[in-house]
Amino acid sequence: MHQIKQNILETLLQLKGSGKFASIGTADFVFPGLTIEGMEEIAFPINSIQALALIGTAQKAPFGQGRSTIYDDNVRSAREIDAAKITFKNPAWEKLIKKVLTNVKADLGLEDYSIAANLYKLLIYKEGDFFLPHKDTEKEKGMFGSLVIGLPSSHTGGELVIHFEGVKETADFARSADPYAINYAAFYADCDHEVKPLGAGCRVCLVYNLVQEKAGKKIALQSVQTHAARLAELLSQHQAQEDPRPAIVLLGHQYTPENFSYDALKLNDRAKAEALLQAAQKAGYYARACLVTSYLSGAPAYDGYYDDEEDDSDAEMEEVYDDSLSIEHWTKSELPTPDNVPFEENELITSFALDEGEPIIKESTGYMGNYGPDLMHWYHYGAVMIWSPDVNARLLLTQGAASQLSWISYFNRTKQITAAEATSIEFIVSTGFNSDHRTEKEVNYNALADWLVNRNDKAFLLQLNTGLLQSYFIKIDPAKWVTIFNNIPADVTAGTFEKLTETITLPVLKQLVAVLQEMAGDKKLHSIAAAQTGDLPGYFKSVYSRDPGRVDAGTLHHLLWMAKKASPVAAWIQEILPILTKDLQRSYVHKVLAPLLLQVKDGSKLTDGLRQSCRDYLQQRADQQPQPPPDWSRPLPDTKQYSKEWQLLKTFLESPTEQVFNFRKNQAERTALEHAIKNATIDLKTETIKTGSPHTLRITKTQATYQRQMKDWKEDVVLLEKLKK
């Protein structure tokens, strides 16, 4: 395993620059002082008159086939002017070419080489001209590639498309934002390239041969694709080891989590990441760019005293008493994000030691009394994690529900899953998903519905234990259940409902009502929905006898729809109405029932019954208008707490005339009495009078209970009037 890791690192080390096979860019305009033999100096942008003149001077452009030179308009249609007829009067043009070469060297990984650009031809493409895919032949000793300079001219189309090992780069000089810009594209001779048909105007380019100037190791295309092929072999060896783990390759630089993205990768980290991602694809593995976080906490060196004014975050950590390794930040990808990847430091594939040099994030708790500060260091290393489907099958079992369901959604979408992964998903679905309180509210179980349909096991739902079946039933959207039930036999659907309702709970009841409304509109499921709808009164009676909760407005809305659209028998309404209105509570009437009924425009007998029950309830409350207390006596709270304090207040509370009690005692006694009042429901308020010593706790009787009751009564009266209209 060590040798495989070393070979991976050595392969990545050979990847220079960006690892690109093509370099495409733009430079600021410089007048070249371009003259063609027999013509005056060319002005820019090149206009149609100059373009016609260039075409008149040029000759038909051939192409090479082996050692032969061939003219065929079906392969290449363009005109060319030989370099011998071209002159540049402006010395700044040569400086521009050198600047372009500097960029090209960085992109093509040629910083260690000396290269030159030798002018070869000037090419002119008019409307309809093109060049089919081809490779450039070696036109002079040391040539390894080509450089195309697009001179400013108005045209559309004519894109230069460069291909290498299934990857495509496009140089579209016509779409430059600056009409005077100098566009360029350089690429290795091993690349296939083509010029798409020109739409309109005229495309004028200078073509240079890229040549290796000094003797030495011959320049060869060492692109991302070349390295990816080698890396794919090594990764296959890595993942073929006994008990393999994910291959986690550190790229070399640190990144803050806030600014970490694939596009933000520094220097050749981008090329390394691209090579690893392509290698994983070639090997049939999964791969994600991520941050490997090494966290250290500890204490700084102690020099005899601590200064609470000093910023200790830059202090050297002398003693480490806690450390951890984790992956918590990932770049965007169509692949689901693993949320639990355990690994040890010795499993990492890295050319450098962890925790050396400066961490990218440092914090200090600051001075803490008699203790020095705690230092916290975070090293966030850019990395790529690669893992095989077999490793993924094991990882799936340890992920949280959100990640597990994301993988199920991915498999549903791509239809690409191995037998080992399918076995893991089957186990998860059959035994239940791992819970994770951090993402519990964000988990979407609809992917499970699609999985259940795709697996095509007609009797699977009946094989689940009741608790797990009910859990899935609640979490999957009602419309998805219609899809599931349409995919299984009617007797299995009926059996599923029987199992769900054996010991029905309030959450199951609420979901059941929503599902039945969805099923009522489906011809295949209509009869089952009707049968279950008929059983709803019994389900409500069972749940309401055990659960103090009540269904929400959404569930009631479904019931109102059923009462009007599903045409239940009259006895159904007569049976369910008293269950829904038994032991009405004020908050339920005001917050759930009444708002819903006030929105219903086209009612039913159930709507009418619920509205009448609400009116009767509110009328009963309206007939009992609260009355103010006859005097200022207040009952002692029925509590065993603070008995000493309540005995102090007993005489005051029983007095029908006293409204204020001044308690002048030390702070401990005042605080105890204040706590007693705050922890009881009683019409008293307190304030501290800070004149004199000790201070005085002033206790005043109020009519808070009566005022609260009057507020509720007025709201009841208003709501009653609304329901009567």
Q: Is the pLDDT of residue 218 over 90?
A: no
User: Are 710 and 692 in a shared domain?
Assistant: no
Task: Let me know if residue 317 belongs to a domain.
Answer: yes
Contacts with 289 (C-beta within 8 Å, 6 or more apart), sequence order? 262, 265, 273, 277, 330, 331, 333, 382, 383, 384
User: Are 554 and 611 in a shared domain?
Assistant: no
The H or E element spanning position 383 is: strand 375-387
**CA-based nearest residue to 614, from 584, 658, 649, 644:** 584
Burial of 536: CB neighbours in 10 Å, binned 0-12, 13-18, 19+: buried
Task: Let me know if residue 634 belongs to a domain.
Answer: no
Task: Let me know if residue 5 belongs to a domain.
Answer: no
Task: Let me know if residue 74 belongs to a domain.
Answer: yes
The total domain count for the chain is 5
Q: What is the CATH number of the domain that holds 104?
A: 2.60.120
User: Are 207 and 230 in a shared domain?
Assistant: no
> Alpha-carbon distance 240 to 237, whole Å?
5
Strands (DSSP E) found in 75-228: 76-77, 79-82, 86-88, 115-126, 130-134, 143-150, 155-157, 160-164, 167-171, 182-188, 192-195, 198-212
pLDDT mean over 150-162 = 96
Residue 90, helix vs strand vs coil: coil
* Structure tokens belonging to residue 400: 């949280």
Least confident of 53-57, 214-218, 340-344, 535-539: 214-218
pLDDT mean over 216-229 = 79
User: Are 693 and 713 in a shared domain?
Assistant: no
Q: Predicted confidence band at 66 (pLDDT cuts at 50, 70, 90)?
A: low
pLDDT at position 219 is 81
- Listed in sequence order, the DSSP H helices in 566-725 are 570-580, 586-588, 594-599, 605-622, 643-654, 667-678, 704-724
Residue-wise pLDDT tens digits, 319-332 = 899 999 999 999 99
User: Are 238 and 369 in a shared domain?
Assistant: yes
Q: Is the pLDDT of residue 262 over 70?
A: yes
Considering 387, 412, 435, which residue would you say is the last residue of a domain?
Answer: 387
Cβ atoms < 10 Å from Cβ of 692: 8
Task: Let me know if residue 636 belongs to a domain.
Answer: no
Considering 363, 387, 411, which residue would you say is the last residue of a domain?
Answer: 387
Q: How far is CA 623 from the centre of its chain?
A: 57
User: Are 239 and 172 in a shared domain?
Assistant: no
Task: Let me know if residue 617 belongs to a domain.
Answer: yes
Least confident of 216-230, 270-284, 287-301, 421-435: 216-230
Q: What are the angstrom distances between the C-alpha of 347 and each of 236, 250, 350, 377?
A: 16, 11, 9, 22
User: Are 380 and 406 in a shared domain?
Assistant: no
Task: Let me know if residue 573 belongs to a domain.
Answer: no
pLDDT at position 304 is 53
Q: Is the pLDDT of residue 64 over 90?
A: no
Residue 399 near residue 248 (C-beta atoms within 8 A): no
Considering 182, 212, 242, which residue would you say is the last residue of a domain?
Answer: 212
User: Are 435 and 517 in a shared domain?
Assistant: yes
User: Are 681 and 657 in a shared domain?
Assistant: yes
Q: Is the pLDDT of residue 442 over 80?
A: no
Residue 34 near residue 86 (C-beta atoms within 8 A): yes
Task: Let me know if residue 418 belongs to a domain.
Answer: yes
Q: Tell how strand 155-157 and strand 130-134 pair up.
A: unpaired
Q: Predicted confidence band at 15 (pLDDT cuts at 50, 70, 90)?
A: confident
**Hunting for tokens 């991915």 — which residue is that?**
410
Q: Predicted confidence band at 357 (pLDDT cuts at 50, 70, 90)?
A: confident
pLDDT at position 439 is 59
User: Are 375 and 232 in a shared domain?
Assistant: yes
Average pLDDT, the chain: 92
3-state secondary structure string, 303-339? CCCCCCCCCCCCCCEEEEEEEEEEEEEECCCCCCCCC
Q: Predicted confidence band at 53 (pLDDT cuts at 50, 70, 90)?
A: very high
User: Are 622 and 677 in a shared domain?
Assistant: no
User: Are 518 and 603 in a shared domain?
Assistant: no
Domain range for 613: 581-628+706-725
Per-residue DSSP letter, 721:
H
pLDDT at position 550 is 94
* Structure tokens belonging to residue 579: 């269950």
**Hunting for tokens 């299984």 — which residue is that?**
488
pLDDT mean over 31-49 = 94
